Amino acid sequence: MDLIFISCAFLAGFVALKCHLPPLVGFLVTGFILHYFGYESNQMITTLADLGVTLLLFSIGLKLDIKTLLAKEVWAGATLHNLLCTLMFAAALLALQYLGLHSLSGLGIPQLLIIGFALSFSSTVFAVKSLQEKGEMNAIYGTLAIGILVMQDIFAVIFLSASTGKLPHWYAVALFLLPFIRPVFYKLLDWVGHGEMLVLFGIFFALVMGAGLFQIVGLKPDLGAIILGMLLSDHSKASELSKSLFNLKELFLVCFFLNIGLSAQPTLTGLLLALVLIVLLPLKGVLYFWVLNRFHFRVRTTLLASLSLFNYSEFGLIVGGLAYHQGWLPGDILVTIAIAVPISFIVAAPIGKKGHELYRRASHWLKPQLAETLNPKDKLINPGNAQVLILGMGRIGTGAYDELYSRHGNICLGIELKEESVAQQREEGRNVINGDATDPDFWERILDKDRVKLILLAMPHNQGNKVALDLLQQNNFNGQIAAIAEYNDQKEDMLNSGAHAAFNIYSEAGTGFARHVCQQLKPKFEPSSTK
């Protein structure tokens, strides 16, 4: 049976790719089809699905800064949307009840509010998968969407604890010690090195230290995975750890989407009401847009974030299932939510993939924010008189900046991701701003790009430089581009991808070292008879 599941998932994912849809749509459809032919989920599929979700949330934590959750647009935006969305869905279902929709008869206001609350969540798994496939996890709208999803996870934990009457165990207060022993975690991460031990470290911390520890003290395991990831997010190997877990996580998540389809028990009444909920889904997207627009993001950022959250969530199933077991909701409503969630994924997948195209078509209908009122994180960037942009102000970028300054004066603008590095560079007198050159929004926000004649790609990781190069070409940059590389094959790849020049940092460092030694020490060598 497992071989049948794997074969069907592969074929359906392949067909989805050929139809320009995310593979997860194929996995969902596979689950429905297999269920129709009598197949059901099993313990192995369920276990692997849970592992995939846990590793996904741990990976999110590795890339999430706690300051993201403390931002007003995240915690206030998530809270406001959750409240308004719950009321909106409850009101819409109440109106349908008065219009005579049979499947809603007999439900009171409290029950409608519970359904509205279950429908207010968006899917963390779906949204993150979509952002990863588009390479826009670091985009402003991507980090905004992920922050809101994490806040929704916290709301779910609070609801589940309150509704069951089960508070965390008293010794859960020991979890507040975790930040204080973070240096120990960092040492362990340093000691495990690379390769298989790094992968095993990630699995151990996600499943045991995160999910397992939180479950022992009576808290939601998924919350533990996110928090443990966040505790490691400032480590220099956090990005490497996330990449090492990527393929394993992706494989397990195939089981997650299969499991949704295999676990559904469709009924005609449930299917019809689920289609009604799909018709109401655009109201949720519009509400996201309205709420985020209150925080003065650019229309593009607001729209793309709203489209990323344009779905129902597996948390709706958890909330609905709990309400059903508590006797608050009838079984038909749980079936309805179980059907509506995967259908919302299938509807949202092509819409999210075409988000940029939808923005281009709808931008003239949407009222833009005034430049002076824009959120500081989303403000337009004016490079001023800079003719050279240096992306990455580490040792190489700083050296290039100083050399160009000594030769041509103040013609450079440095772009650096780390805010503390930006502050230090400014203290030393350099013209440097905070920005992420791998963020598609960054290039959308830069004004007067035509004035820039040269861009130096000096970020420490080759993949970051490659992403920035691709984005520059997508934005039709007309100037010259030079890049650094650690290996000759990376150098050739950069040149083949459109860079005008690429330099191996090790060979260049050796050349520069020899030149400076000769200039400073002026050694007197005897003529060599051979070359």
- Architecture of the domain made up of 1-363: Up-down Bundle (1.20)
pLDDT for res 287? 95
The residue with tokens 């299969």 is 258
What tens digit of pLDDT does each residue of 359-396 get? Answer: 778 777 777 776 667 777 777 777 778 889 999 888 88
What tens digit of pLDDT does each residue of 334-344 get? Answer: 778 878 888 88
pLDDT for res 113? 93
pLDDT for res 16? 80
> Is 156 within 8 Å of 79 (Cβ atoms)?
no
Spatial distance between the Cα atoms of 96 and 105, rounded to a whole number of angstroms: 10
List Cβ neighbours of 191 (8 Å cut-off, separation of 6 or more).
none
pLDDT for res 528? 58
Question: Which stretch of DSSP H or E encloses residue 293?
Answer: helix 268-293
What are the residue ranges of CATH 3.40.50.720 in the chain? Answer: 388-521
pLDDT for res 525? 67
The three-class DSSP label of residue 223 is: helix
pLDDT for res 61? 80
Spatial distance between the Cα atoms of 328 and 107, rounded to a whole number of angstroms: 9
Residue ranges in the chain modelled with pLDDT below 50: none
Q: Which residues pair with 390 in a beta bridge?
A: 414, 456
Q: Is the pTM of this model over 0.85?
A: no
pLDDT for res 462? 78
CATH superfamily of 388-521: NAD(P)-binding Rossmann-like Domain (3.40.50.720)
What are the residue ranges of CATH 1.20.1530.20 in the chain? Answer: 1-363
First to last CA, the chain: 69
